[in-house]
Chain A
Amino acid sequence: MTKSDNVIVVKGLKKSYGQNEVLKGVNFTVKRGSMLALLGPNGAGKTTTVRILSTLLAYDSGSVQVEDYDAHQEADKVRRVIGLTGQSAAVDELLTGRENLVMMGQLYRLTKNSAAARAQELLEEFDLVDAADRPAKTYSGGMRRRLDLAVSLIASPPIIFLDEPTTGLDPRSRIAMWDIIKSLMAGGTTILLTTQYLEEADQLADQIVVIDGGKVIAEGTAKELKSKVGKDRLELLFKAEKHYTAACELLSKAIVDSNDKEHSLTLIINDTNKDVKDVLEKLSDKNIPVESIVVHKPTLDDVFLSLTGKQTQTAKVEEQ
Protein backbone atom coordinates (compact mmCIF):
# COMPACT_ATOMS: atom_id res chain seq x y z
CA MET A 1 0.00 0.00 0.00
CA THR A 2 1.47 3.32 -0.93
CA LYS A 3 1.06 6.00 1.63
CA SER A 4 -1.29 8.72 0.63
CA ASP A 5 -0.05 12.22 0.19
CA ASN A 6 -2.32 13.55 2.90
CA VAL A 7 -0.71 12.68 6.22
CA ILE A 8 -3.36 14.23 8.41
CA VAL A 9 -7.00 14.44 7.37
CA VAL A 10 -9.53 16.01 9.73
CA LYS A 11 -13.17 16.08 8.66
CA GLY A 12 -16.13 17.53 10.50
CA LEU A 13 -14.37 17.16 13.84
CA LYS A 14 -16.63 17.87 16.81
CA LYS A 15 -15.87 17.74 20.49
CA SER A 16 -17.82 18.92 23.53
CA TYR A 17 -16.97 19.11 27.17
CA GLY A 18 -20.36 18.66 28.75
CA GLN A 19 -22.54 21.45 27.39
CA ASN A 20 -19.56 23.34 26.08
CA GLU A 21 -19.07 22.64 22.37
CA VAL A 22 -15.38 23.30 21.89
CA LEU A 23 -14.90 22.06 18.32
CA LYS A 24 -17.80 22.66 15.96
CA GLY A 25 -16.86 20.78 12.83
CA VAL A 26 -13.22 21.43 12.01
CA ASN A 27 -11.79 20.41 8.62
CA PHE A 28 -8.22 20.53 7.37
CA THR A 29 -5.60 18.43 5.63
CA VAL A 30 -1.85 18.35 6.04
CA LYS A 31 0.27 17.26 3.10
CA ARG A 32 3.31 15.05 3.54
CA GLY A 33 6.43 17.02 4.41
CA SER A 34 4.59 20.31 4.87
CA MET A 35 3.78 22.45 7.86
CA LEU A 36 0.34 23.58 8.81
CA ALA A 37 -0.10 26.29 11.41
CA LEU A 38 -3.25 26.28 13.47
CA LEU A 39 -3.71 29.88 14.39
CA GLY A 40 -6.15 31.11 16.97
CA PRO A 41 -6.68 33.12 20.14
CA ASN A 42 -6.93 31.70 23.67
CA GLY A 43 -9.65 29.12 23.95
CA ALA A 44 -10.06 28.67 20.19
CA GLY A 45 -9.66 24.91 20.47
CA LYS A 46 -6.05 24.50 19.30
CA THR A 47 -4.92 22.32 22.18
CA THR A 48 -8.09 20.27 22.02
CA THR A 49 -7.45 19.60 18.32
CA VAL A 50 -3.83 18.62 18.94
CA ARG A 51 -4.80 16.34 21.82
CA ILE A 52 -7.31 14.56 19.64
CA LEU A 53 -4.82 14.17 16.79
CA SER A 54 -2.17 12.82 19.12
CA THR A 55 -4.59 10.18 20.49
CA LEU A 56 -4.88 11.70 23.96
CA LEU A 57 -8.51 12.60 23.67
CA ALA A 58 -11.53 10.89 22.13
CA TYR A 59 -13.67 12.94 19.77
CA ASP A 60 -17.44 13.01 19.46
CA SER A 61 -17.99 12.93 15.72
CA GLY A 62 -16.33 13.49 12.38
CA SER A 63 -13.18 11.67 11.35
CA VAL A 64 -9.53 12.13 12.25
CA GLN A 65 -6.95 10.21 10.26
CA VAL A 66 -3.22 10.18 10.77
CA GLU A 67 -1.33 8.18 8.14
CA ASP A 68 -4.70 6.63 7.28
CA TYR A 69 -5.15 5.38 10.84
CA ASP A 70 -8.04 6.54 12.98
CA ALA A 71 -6.61 8.62 15.82
CA HIS A 72 -8.93 7.02 18.35
CA GLN A 73 -9.65 3.49 17.12
CA GLU A 74 -6.09 2.82 16.01
CA ALA A 75 -4.29 4.91 18.59
CA ASP A 76 -1.47 2.36 18.95
CA LYS A 77 -0.50 2.64 15.31
CA VAL A 78 -0.73 6.40 15.33
CA ARG A 79 1.52 6.63 18.38
CA ARG A 80 4.34 4.92 16.51
CA VAL A 81 4.56 7.66 13.91
CA ILE A 82 3.97 10.81 15.93
CA GLY A 83 5.89 12.99 18.34
CA LEU A 84 4.08 15.43 20.61
CA THR A 85 5.35 18.58 22.23
CA GLY A 86 2.44 19.71 24.34
CA GLN A 87 1.61 23.19 25.50
CA SER A 88 3.22 22.65 28.90
CA ALA A 89 6.58 20.92 29.01
CA ALA A 90 6.12 17.22 29.71
CA VAL A 91 9.48 16.12 31.05
CA ASP A 92 10.27 14.20 34.20
CA GLU A 93 11.59 16.82 36.57
CA LEU A 94 13.52 14.44 38.80
CA LEU A 95 15.34 12.76 35.94
CA THR A 96 18.22 14.38 34.11
CA GLY A 97 17.85 15.57 30.54
CA ARG A 98 19.73 12.55 29.28
CA GLU A 99 17.72 10.11 31.37
CA ASN A 100 14.51 11.64 30.06
CA LEU A 101 15.66 11.19 26.48
CA VAL A 102 16.88 7.62 26.91
CA MET A 103 13.79 6.56 28.82
CA MET A 104 11.41 7.93 26.21
CA GLY A 105 13.57 6.44 23.46
CA GLN A 106 13.24 3.02 25.02
CA LEU A 107 9.51 3.47 25.38
CA TYR A 108 9.43 4.22 21.63
CA ARG A 109 10.98 0.73 21.27
CA LEU A 110 14.48 1.91 20.44
CA THR A 111 17.29 -0.35 21.65
CA LYS A 112 19.16 1.01 24.63
CA ASN A 113 22.32 1.77 22.64
CA SER A 114 20.41 3.39 19.88
CA ALA A 115 18.46 5.53 22.38
CA ALA A 116 21.65 6.60 24.14
CA ALA A 117 23.40 7.56 20.90
CA ARG A 118 20.38 9.48 19.65
CA ALA A 119 20.08 11.21 23.04
CA GLN A 120 23.66 12.43 22.79
CA GLU A 121 23.04 13.68 19.28
CA LEU A 122 19.95 15.62 20.34
CA LEU A 123 21.63 17.07 23.43
CA GLU A 124 24.33 18.47 21.15
CA GLU A 125 21.85 19.72 18.59
CA PHE A 126 19.69 21.43 21.21
CA ASP A 127 22.57 22.97 23.11
CA LEU A 128 21.90 20.98 26.27
CA VAL A 129 25.21 19.13 26.66
CA ASP A 130 26.30 21.09 29.71
CA ALA A 131 23.01 20.49 31.47
CA ALA A 132 22.59 16.93 30.24
CA ASP A 133 23.27 15.26 33.56
CA ARG A 134 21.39 17.68 35.78
CA PRO A 135 17.81 17.01 36.91
CA ALA A 136 15.35 18.73 34.56
CA LYS A 137 13.84 20.68 37.46
CA THR A 138 17.00 22.82 37.48
CA TYR A 139 16.43 23.83 33.83
CA SER A 140 15.24 27.28 32.76
CA GLY A 141 11.93 27.56 30.93
CA GLY A 142 13.66 27.74 27.56
CA MET A 143 15.88 24.74 28.28
CA ARG A 144 12.86 22.76 29.39
CA ARG A 145 11.04 23.53 26.18
CA ARG A 146 14.08 22.47 24.17
CA LEU A 147 14.36 19.25 26.14
CA ASP A 148 10.65 18.67 25.66
CA LEU A 149 10.99 19.04 21.91
CA ALA A 150 14.14 16.89 21.89
CA VAL A 151 12.24 14.16 23.74
CA SER A 152 9.51 14.11 21.11
CA LEU A 153 12.16 13.77 18.40
CA ILE A 154 14.03 10.91 20.07
CA ALA A 155 12.72 8.30 17.65
CA SER A 156 12.65 10.72 14.68
CA PRO A 157 8.93 10.33 14.09
CA PRO A 158 7.77 11.44 10.64
CA ILE A 159 4.94 13.55 12.12
CA ILE A 160 5.36 16.13 14.84
CA PHE A 161 2.73 18.10 16.78
CA LEU A 162 3.92 21.32 18.36
CA ASP A 163 1.45 23.07 20.62
CA GLU A 164 2.57 26.67 21.04
CA PRO A 165 6.27 25.78 21.05
CA THR A 166 7.46 29.36 21.51
CA THR A 167 4.96 30.74 24.00
CA GLY A 168 6.86 32.13 26.95
CA LEU A 169 10.25 32.18 25.23
CA ASP A 170 12.39 35.29 24.95
CA PRO A 171 13.04 36.58 21.40
CA ARG A 172 16.44 34.90 21.17
CA SER A 173 15.12 31.52 22.29
CA ARG A 174 12.18 31.92 19.96
CA ILE A 175 14.44 32.41 16.97
CA ALA A 176 16.54 29.44 18.09
CA MET A 177 13.35 27.38 18.27
CA TRP A 178 12.34 28.55 14.80
CA ASP A 179 15.70 27.42 13.47
CA ILE A 180 15.19 24.00 14.98
CA ILE A 181 11.72 23.78 13.49
CA LYS A 182 12.99 24.90 10.10
CA SER A 183 15.65 22.21 10.12
CA LEU A 184 12.99 19.64 10.95
CA MET A 185 11.01 20.83 7.96
CA ALA A 186 14.10 20.62 5.80
CA GLY A 187 14.43 17.01 6.94
CA GLY A 188 10.99 16.25 5.52
CA THR A 189 9.04 16.00 8.78
CA THR A 190 5.34 16.73 8.56
CA ILE A 191 4.49 19.31 11.20
CA LEU A 192 1.33 20.65 12.74
CA LEU A 193 2.04 23.69 14.83
CA THR A 194 -0.32 25.81 16.87
CA THR A 195 0.38 29.39 17.67
CA GLN A 196 -1.15 32.66 18.72
CA TYR A 197 1.59 34.55 16.91
CA LEU A 198 0.81 35.49 13.36
CA GLU A 199 4.43 36.24 12.71
CA GLU A 200 5.28 32.68 13.62
CA ALA A 201 2.72 31.22 11.26
CA ASP A 202 3.86 33.67 8.58
CA GLN A 203 7.53 32.73 9.03
CA LEU A 204 7.20 28.97 9.20
CA ALA A 205 4.03 27.54 7.78
CA ASP A 206 3.20 26.40 4.28
CA GLN A 207 -0.44 26.63 5.11
CA ILE A 208 -2.40 28.45 7.78
CA VAL A 209 -5.72 27.49 9.28
CA VAL A 210 -7.30 30.18 11.42
CA ILE A 211 -9.65 28.87 14.08
CA ASP A 212 -11.81 30.75 16.50
CA GLY A 213 -14.54 29.49 18.77
CA GLY A 214 -14.02 25.95 17.52
CA LYS A 215 -14.53 26.78 13.85
CA VAL A 216 -12.20 27.27 10.94
CA ILE A 217 -12.72 30.86 9.91
CA ALA A 218 -10.08 31.12 7.22
CA GLU A 219 -7.54 28.98 5.46
CA GLY A 220 -4.73 29.38 2.99
CA THR A 221 -1.13 30.48 2.62
CA ALA A 222 -0.01 33.61 4.42
CA LYS A 223 -0.15 35.44 1.10
CA GLU A 224 -3.67 34.29 0.31
CA LEU A 225 -4.92 35.28 3.73
CA LYS A 226 -3.38 38.70 3.46
CA SER A 227 -4.89 39.26 0.06
CA LYS A 228 -8.29 38.30 1.45
CA VAL A 229 -8.19 41.28 3.73
CA GLY A 230 -6.95 42.86 0.64
CA LYS A 231 -6.32 46.48 0.18
CA ASP A 232 -3.26 48.48 1.04
CA ARG A 233 -3.73 51.53 3.21
CA LEU A 234 -2.23 54.94 2.74
CA GLU A 235 -1.45 57.02 5.79
CA LEU A 236 -0.91 60.75 5.45
CA LEU A 237 0.55 63.02 8.09
CA PHE A 238 0.19 66.81 8.18
CA LYS A 239 2.17 69.34 10.17
CA ALA A 240 -0.37 72.14 10.50
CA GLU A 241 -3.91 71.71 11.76
CA LYS A 242 -5.42 73.77 8.95
CA HIS A 243 -3.78 71.58 6.30
CA TYR A 244 -5.02 68.50 8.09
CA THR A 245 -8.59 69.86 8.20
CA ALA A 246 -8.42 70.88 4.57
CA ALA A 247 -7.20 67.44 3.56
CA CYS A 248 -9.98 65.84 5.55
CA GLU A 249 -12.53 67.85 3.60
CA LEU A 250 -10.90 67.18 0.28
CA LEU A 251 -10.53 63.42 0.68
CA SER A 252 -13.50 62.84 2.97
CA LYS A 253 -15.01 60.01 0.93
CA ALA A 254 -12.02 57.74 1.02
CA ILE A 255 -10.97 58.28 4.63
CA VAL A 256 -11.29 55.24 6.89
CA ASP A 257 -9.46 56.51 9.92
CA SER A 258 -8.23 59.84 11.20
CA ASN A 259 -6.47 61.19 14.22
CA ASP A 260 -7.08 64.85 15.11
CA LYS A 261 -4.23 65.03 17.58
CA GLU A 262 -1.54 63.61 15.33
CA HIS A 263 -3.05 65.19 12.20
CA SER A 264 -2.95 61.85 10.44
CA LEU A 265 -5.50 60.18 8.23
CA THR A 266 -5.74 56.82 6.56
CA LEU A 267 -7.24 55.92 3.18
CA ILE A 268 -7.94 52.58 1.58
CA ILE A 269 -6.37 52.34 -1.86
CA ASN A 270 -7.00 49.86 -4.60
CA ASP A 271 -4.22 50.40 -7.06
CA THR A 272 -1.27 51.50 -5.02
CA ASN A 273 0.83 53.26 -7.69
CA LYS A 274 -1.99 55.12 -9.37
CA ASP A 275 -3.96 56.02 -6.24
CA VAL A 276 -0.97 57.40 -4.32
CA LYS A 277 -0.10 59.59 -7.25
CA ASP A 278 -3.71 60.79 -7.60
CA VAL A 279 -4.03 61.67 -3.94
CA LEU A 280 -0.76 63.56 -3.87
CA GLU A 281 -1.70 65.48 -7.00
CA LYS A 282 -5.07 66.43 -5.54
CA LEU A 283 -3.39 67.74 -2.40
CA SER A 284 -0.73 69.73 -4.26
CA ASP A 285 -3.43 71.25 -6.52
CA LYS A 286 -4.96 72.73 -3.35
CA ASN A 287 -1.57 73.68 -1.98
CA ILE A 288 -1.79 71.34 1.01
CA PRO A 289 1.73 70.26 2.02
CA VAL A 290 2.12 66.69 3.30
CA GLU A 291 4.55 65.97 6.12
CA SER A 292 4.93 62.24 5.41
CA ILE A 293 3.26 59.36 3.64
CA VAL A 294 3.31 55.67 4.51
CA VAL A 295 1.82 52.75 2.58
CA HIS A 296 0.71 49.87 4.82
CA LYS A 297 0.55 46.39 3.37
CA PRO A 298 -1.93 44.21 5.28
CA THR A 299 -0.32 42.02 7.94
CA LEU A 300 -1.62 38.80 9.33
CA ASP A 301 -2.65 40.84 12.34
CA ASP A 302 -5.05 42.71 10.12
CA VAL A 303 -6.29 39.40 8.75
CA PHE A 304 -6.88 38.19 12.21
CA LEU A 305 -8.57 41.32 13.36
CA SER A 306 -10.88 41.45 10.41
CA LEU A 307 -11.74 37.74 10.72
CA THR A 308 -12.29 37.46 14.43
CA GLY A 309 -13.10 41.01 15.38
CA LYS A 310 -10.58 40.62 18.14
CA GLN A 311 -7.09 41.89 18.47
CA THR A 312 -4.17 39.53 18.74
CA GLN A 313 -1.78 39.68 21.62
CA THR A 314 1.09 40.93 19.50
CA ALA A 315 -1.02 43.74 18.12
CA LYS A 316 -2.10 44.74 21.61
CA VAL A 317 1.48 44.84 22.86
CA GLU A 318 2.62 46.89 19.90
CA GLU A 319 -0.09 49.43 20.50
CA GLN A 320 0.95 50.15 24.05
Chain B
Amino acid sequence: MAVELVFQKRPKPIQAMLDAFIMIKRSSRHILRNTDQLLGTFFQPIMFLVLFAAVFGGAISKALPEGVSYLNFLMAGIIVQTVAFGSTTTAIAVCNDLQKGIIDRFRSLPMNNLAVLSGHVISDVFRNGISTIVMLLTGLLIGFRSHASVTDWLIIAGILLLFTLAFSWLAAIMGVLAKSVEGVQWMSFVIVFPLTFASSAFVPTEDMNSVLRAFAENQPITQIVEAVRALILGNPIGDYGWLAAAWCIGILIVAVPLASWLFRRQSSR
Protein backbone atom coordinates (compact mmCIF):
# COMPACT_ATOMS: atom_id res chain seq x y z
CA MET B 1 0.00 0.00 0.00
CA ALA B 2 1.40 3.34 -1.07
CA VAL B 3 -0.63 5.75 1.03
CA GLU B 4 0.34 6.08 4.66
CA LEU B 5 -2.70 6.22 6.89
CA VAL B 6 -2.77 8.85 9.58
CA PHE B 7 -5.28 8.30 12.37
CA GLN B 8 -6.15 10.92 14.91
CA LYS B 9 -7.11 10.36 18.51
CA ARG B 10 -9.24 12.91 20.27
CA PRO B 11 -11.29 12.92 23.44
CA LYS B 12 -14.65 11.21 23.05
CA PRO B 13 -16.92 14.30 23.24
CA ILE B 14 -14.91 16.09 20.55
CA GLN B 15 -14.93 12.98 18.43
CA ALA B 16 -18.71 12.81 18.77
CA MET B 17 -19.01 16.44 17.65
CA LEU B 18 -16.83 15.82 14.62
CA ASP B 19 -18.99 12.82 13.75
CA ALA B 20 -22.04 15.05 13.95
CA PHE B 21 -20.36 17.56 11.61
CA ILE B 22 -19.58 14.84 9.08
CA MET B 23 -23.19 13.66 9.25
CA ILE B 24 -24.58 17.20 8.90
CA LYS B 25 -22.49 17.57 5.76
CA ARG B 26 -23.88 14.29 4.49
CA SER B 27 -27.52 15.18 5.17
CA SER B 28 -27.08 18.66 3.69
CA ARG B 29 -25.72 17.09 0.52
CA HIS B 30 -28.79 14.87 0.45
CA ILE B 31 -31.05 17.90 0.67
CA LEU B 32 -29.17 19.75 -2.06
CA ARG B 33 -29.11 16.75 -4.39
CA ASN B 34 -32.69 15.75 -3.98
CA THR B 35 -34.00 18.23 -6.52
CA ASP B 36 -37.69 17.37 -6.15
CA GLN B 37 -37.53 17.97 -2.44
CA LEU B 38 -35.52 21.13 -2.93
CA LEU B 39 -38.16 22.57 -5.24
CA GLY B 40 -40.73 21.76 -2.59
CA THR B 41 -38.68 23.67 -0.05
CA PHE B 42 -38.99 26.80 -2.17
CA PHE B 43 -42.34 26.57 -3.87
CA GLN B 44 -44.60 24.89 -1.39
CA PRO B 45 -44.41 27.71 1.18
CA ILE B 46 -44.83 30.35 -1.54
CA MET B 47 -47.86 28.52 -2.85
CA PHE B 48 -49.44 28.13 0.57
CA LEU B 49 -48.81 31.73 1.47
CA VAL B 50 -50.27 33.17 -1.71
CA LEU B 51 -53.22 30.73 -1.81
CA PHE B 52 -54.22 31.14 1.82
CA ALA B 53 -53.93 34.93 1.66
CA ALA B 54 -56.04 35.06 -1.50
CA VAL B 55 -58.66 32.42 -0.58
CA PHE B 56 -59.24 33.03 3.13
CA GLY B 57 -58.18 36.67 3.29
CA GLY B 58 -61.56 38.18 2.43
CA ALA B 59 -63.64 35.99 4.72
CA ILE B 60 -61.40 35.89 7.73
CA SER B 61 -60.27 39.50 7.86
CA LYS B 62 -63.68 40.41 9.32
CA ALA B 63 -62.91 38.27 12.36
CA LEU B 64 -59.53 39.92 12.88
CA PRO B 65 -58.90 42.90 15.19
CA GLU B 66 -59.08 46.39 13.65
CA GLY B 67 -56.14 47.27 11.46
CA VAL B 68 -54.68 43.75 11.18
CA SER B 69 -54.47 42.48 7.61
CA TYR B 70 -54.94 38.74 7.03
CA LEU B 71 -51.53 38.47 5.41
CA ASN B 72 -49.85 39.92 8.50
CA PHE B 73 -51.96 37.60 10.68
CA LEU B 74 -51.24 34.58 8.50
CA MET B 75 -47.46 34.92 8.29
CA ALA B 76 -46.70 33.40 11.71
CA GLY B 77 -49.11 30.53 11.06
CA ILE B 78 -47.80 29.68 7.66
CA ILE B 79 -44.18 29.67 8.84
CA VAL B 80 -44.99 27.35 11.71
CA GLN B 81 -47.07 25.12 9.44
CA THR B 82 -44.25 24.88 6.91
CA VAL B 83 -41.78 23.88 9.59
CA ALA B 84 -44.20 21.32 11.03
CA PHE B 85 -44.83 19.74 7.64
CA GLY B 86 -41.17 20.08 6.68
CA SER B 87 -40.14 17.89 9.61
CA THR B 88 -41.38 14.97 7.53
CA THR B 89 -38.10 15.29 5.65
CA THR B 90 -36.21 14.24 8.77
CA ALA B 91 -38.57 11.33 9.29
CA ILE B 92 -38.11 10.15 5.71
CA ALA B 93 -34.34 10.51 5.87
CA VAL B 94 -34.15 8.50 9.12
CA CYS B 95 -36.51 5.86 7.78
CA ASN B 96 -34.49 5.56 4.58
CA ASP B 97 -31.24 5.07 6.47
CA LEU B 98 -32.78 2.34 8.57
CA GLN B 99 -34.46 0.52 5.68
CA LYS B 100 -31.35 0.54 3.50
CA GLY B 101 -28.19 -1.24 4.50
CA ILE B 102 -26.28 1.98 5.14
CA ILE B 103 -27.07 1.95 8.84
CA ASP B 104 -25.17 -1.32 9.21
CA ARG B 105 -22.15 0.35 7.70
CA PHE B 106 -22.31 3.24 10.16
CA ARG B 107 -22.82 0.88 13.05
CA SER B 108 -19.77 -1.16 12.10
CA LEU B 109 -17.61 1.97 12.27
CA PRO B 110 -15.97 3.34 15.42
CA MET B 111 -18.23 6.41 15.28
CA ASN B 112 -20.96 7.84 17.47
CA ASN B 113 -24.06 6.39 15.81
CA LEU B 114 -26.42 9.04 17.10
CA ALA B 115 -24.60 11.48 14.81
CA VAL B 116 -26.69 9.93 12.05
CA LEU B 117 -29.83 11.33 13.71
CA SER B 118 -28.40 14.70 14.67
CA GLY B 119 -27.06 15.10 11.13
CA HIS B 120 -30.56 14.80 9.70
CA VAL B 121 -32.14 17.02 12.34
CA ILE B 122 -29.64 19.82 12.05
CA SER B 123 -29.52 19.90 8.27
CA ASP B 124 -33.30 20.14 8.48
CA VAL B 125 -32.91 23.28 10.57
CA PHE B 126 -30.90 24.86 7.74
CA ARG B 127 -33.51 23.85 5.21
CA ASN B 128 -36.31 25.28 7.30
CA GLY B 129 -34.36 28.50 7.77
CA ILE B 130 -34.17 28.88 4.00
CA SER B 131 -37.90 28.10 3.60
CA THR B 132 -38.74 30.74 6.19
CA ILE B 133 -36.64 33.40 4.52
CA VAL B 134 -38.22 32.59 1.15
CA MET B 135 -41.67 32.98 2.69
CA LEU B 136 -40.85 36.26 4.35
CA LEU B 137 -39.47 37.70 1.11
CA THR B 138 -42.52 36.53 -0.84
CA GLY B 139 -44.72 38.04 1.86
CA LEU B 140 -42.95 41.38 1.54
CA LEU B 141 -43.61 41.31 -2.21
CA ILE B 142 -47.35 40.82 -1.77
CA GLY B 143 -47.81 43.33 1.01
CA PHE B 144 -46.63 41.80 4.31
CA ARG B 145 -45.43 44.45 6.76
CA SER B 146 -44.15 43.96 10.30
CA HIS B 147 -43.65 46.16 13.34
CA ALA B 148 -41.05 43.86 14.86
CA SER B 149 -37.70 45.30 15.91
CA VAL B 150 -34.38 43.57 15.29
CA THR B 151 -34.51 42.17 18.82
CA ASP B 152 -38.02 40.86 18.14
CA TRP B 153 -36.77 39.13 15.01
CA LEU B 154 -33.94 37.53 16.96
CA ILE B 155 -36.47 36.23 19.48
CA ILE B 156 -38.64 34.96 16.61
CA ALA B 157 -35.61 33.20 15.14
CA GLY B 158 -34.87 31.68 18.54
CA ILE B 159 -38.43 30.39 19.00
CA LEU B 160 -38.52 28.98 15.47
CA LEU B 161 -35.15 27.31 15.99
CA LEU B 162 -36.38 25.61 19.13
CA PHE B 163 -39.59 24.64 17.38
CA THR B 164 -37.79 23.17 14.36
CA LEU B 165 -35.47 21.18 16.59
CA ALA B 166 -38.38 19.90 18.67
CA PHE B 167 -40.42 18.85 15.67
CA SER B 168 -37.51 17.32 13.80
CA TRP B 169 -36.69 15.16 16.82
CA LEU B 170 -40.33 14.11 17.00
CA ALA B 171 -40.09 13.35 13.30
CA ALA B 172 -36.98 11.29 13.95
CA ILE B 173 -39.07 9.11 16.26
CA MET B 174 -41.62 8.66 13.47
CA GLY B 175 -38.84 7.79 11.07
CA VAL B 176 -37.56 5.06 13.38
CA LEU B 177 -40.99 3.61 14.06
CA ALA B 178 -42.33 3.63 10.50
CA LYS B 179 -41.76 0.53 8.42
CA SER B 180 -41.57 2.43 5.13
CA VAL B 181 -41.37 5.89 3.64
CA GLU B 182 -45.08 5.69 2.78
CA GLY B 183 -45.73 4.92 6.42
CA VAL B 184 -43.82 8.04 7.41
CA GLN B 185 -45.87 10.21 5.12
CA TRP B 186 -49.04 8.74 6.48
CA MET B 187 -48.04 9.16 10.11
CA SER B 188 -46.92 12.71 9.66
CA PHE B 189 -50.11 13.58 7.83
CA VAL B 190 -52.29 12.16 10.57
CA ILE B 191 -50.35 13.92 13.31
CA VAL B 192 -49.28 17.21 11.77
CA PHE B 193 -52.41 18.05 9.79
CA PRO B 194 -54.82 18.20 12.76
CA LEU B 195 -52.22 19.91 14.92
CA THR B 196 -51.71 22.75 12.48
CA PHE B 197 -55.33 23.16 11.38
CA ALA B 198 -56.87 22.87 14.84
CA SER B 199 -54.75 25.79 15.98
CA SER B 200 -54.68 29.52 15.58
CA ALA B 201 -52.32 29.21 12.60
CA PHE B 202 -54.86 30.23 9.97
CA VAL B 203 -57.95 31.46 11.83
CA PRO B 204 -58.58 33.02 15.22
CA THR B 205 -59.77 30.40 17.72
CA GLU B 206 -62.68 32.50 19.02
CA ASP B 207 -65.14 31.22 16.43
CA MET B 208 -64.37 27.49 16.88
CA ASN B 209 -66.81 25.28 18.84
CA SER B 210 -65.97 24.87 22.50
CA VAL B 211 -64.32 21.44 22.35
CA LEU B 212 -62.16 22.30 19.39
CA ARG B 213 -61.34 25.64 20.91
CA ALA B 214 -60.21 24.10 24.18
CA PHE B 215 -57.89 21.80 22.24
CA ALA B 216 -56.66 24.49 19.88
CA GLU B 217 -55.82 26.97 22.59
CA ASN B 218 -53.85 24.53 24.69
CA GLN B 219 -51.76 22.71 22.15
CA PRO B 220 -48.16 23.65 21.36
CA ILE B 221 -48.62 24.86 17.79
CA THR B 222 -50.97 27.60 18.96
CA GLN B 223 -48.56 28.77 21.67
CA ILE B 224 -45.76 29.01 19.15
CA VAL B 225 -47.88 30.67 16.48
CA GLU B 226 -49.22 33.19 18.99
CA ALA B 227 -45.76 34.03 20.31
CA VAL B 228 -44.38 34.61 16.81
CA ARG B 229 -47.51 36.46 15.74
CA ALA B 230 -47.43 38.83 18.71
CA LEU B 231 -43.84 39.73 17.91
CA ILE B 232 -44.57 40.21 14.21
CA LEU B 233 -47.62 42.38 14.86
CA GLY B 234 -45.89 44.32 17.61
CA ASN B 235 -48.38 43.16 20.28
CA PRO B 236 -47.43 42.22 23.83
CA ILE B 237 -46.30 38.60 23.87
CA GLY B 238 -47.90 37.77 27.23
CA ASP B 239 -47.52 34.18 28.39
CA TYR B 240 -47.05 32.86 24.88
CA GLY B 241 -43.29 33.37 24.85
CA TRP B 242 -42.46 31.15 27.79
CA LEU B 243 -45.26 28.70 26.96
CA ALA B 244 -43.82 28.24 23.48
CA ALA B 245 -40.31 27.78 24.85
CA ALA B 246 -41.54 25.41 27.54
CA TRP B 247 -43.37 23.23 25.04
CA CYS B 248 -40.37 23.04 22.73
CA ILE B 249 -37.91 22.29 25.51
CA GLY B 250 -40.33 19.78 27.00
CA ILE B 251 -40.64 18.01 23.67
CA LEU B 252 -36.87 17.99 23.25
CA ILE B 253 -36.30 16.55 26.72
CA VAL B 254 -38.56 13.62 25.87
CA ALA B 255 -37.92 13.23 22.15
CA VAL B 256 -34.10 13.31 22.00
CA PRO B 257 -33.49 10.40 24.38
CA LEU B 258 -36.52 8.51 23.10
CA ALA B 259 -35.47 8.85 19.45
CA SER B 260 -31.92 7.82 20.33
CA TRP B 261 -33.05 4.83 22.31
CA LEU B 262 -35.49 3.70 19.63
CA PHE B 263 -32.87 4.24 16.95
CA ARG B 264 -30.31 2.13 18.80
CA ARG B 265 -32.86 -0.58 19.43
CA GLN B 266 -34.24 -0.60 15.91
CA SER B 267 -30.88 -0.62 14.22
CA SER B 268 -29.50 -3.49 16.27
CA ARG B 269 -32.10 -6.00 15.13
Contacts and interface: CB of A to CB of B under 8 A. Distances in A.
Q: Do A and B come from one complex?
A: yes
Interface of A: 51, 54-58, 76, 79-80, 82-84, 86-95, 99, 103-104, 106-111, 113-114, 117-118, 121, 135, 151-152, 155-156, 187
A107 B106 CA distance: 8
A120 B2 CA distance: 11
Interface in B178-225: none
30 contacts: A51-B104, A54-B108, A55-B107, A56-B104, A79-B108, A84-B104, A84-B105, A86-B105, A88-B100, A90-B100, A90-B103, A90-B104, A92-B102, A94-B29, A94-B30, A94-B33, A104-B105, A104-B109, A106-B18, A107-B19, A107-B106, A107-B110, A107-B111, A108-B110, A109-B7, A110-B7, A111-B8, A114-B3, A117-B3, A118-B5
Given A56-B268, A92-B26, 8 more contacts: A56-B107, A83-B108, A104-B105, A104-B109, A109-B7, A111-B6, A117-B3, A152-B105
Contacts, number: 94
A79 B19 CA distance: 15
A58 B19 CA distance: 24
Given A58-B268, A94-B30, A107 B22 contact: yes
A311 to B, nearest CB: 29
Nearest to A84: B108
Nearest to B1: A156
Contacts of B7: 108-111, 114, 155
B33 A121 contact: no
B13 interface: no
A106 B105 CA distance: 13
A114 B7 CA distance: 8
Interface string B145-179: 00000000000000000000000000000000000
Interface of B: 1-9, 15, 18-19, 22, 25-26, 29-30, 33-34, 100-111, 268-269
Contacts of B269: 57
A104 B23 CA distance: 10
Contacts of A113: 6
Contact of B26 (A56, A95, A152): A95
Contacts of A95: 26, 29
B29 A86 contact: no
Given A94-B33, A95-B26, A103-B26, A82 B6 contact: no
Nearest to A91: B102
A236 to B, nearest CB: 51
Contacts of B268: 56-58
A76 B110 CA distance: 6
A76 B19 CA distance: 15
Contacts of B18: 106
A109 B29 contact: no
Contacts of B107: 55-56
A92 B2 CA distance: 26
A55 B104 CA distance: 10
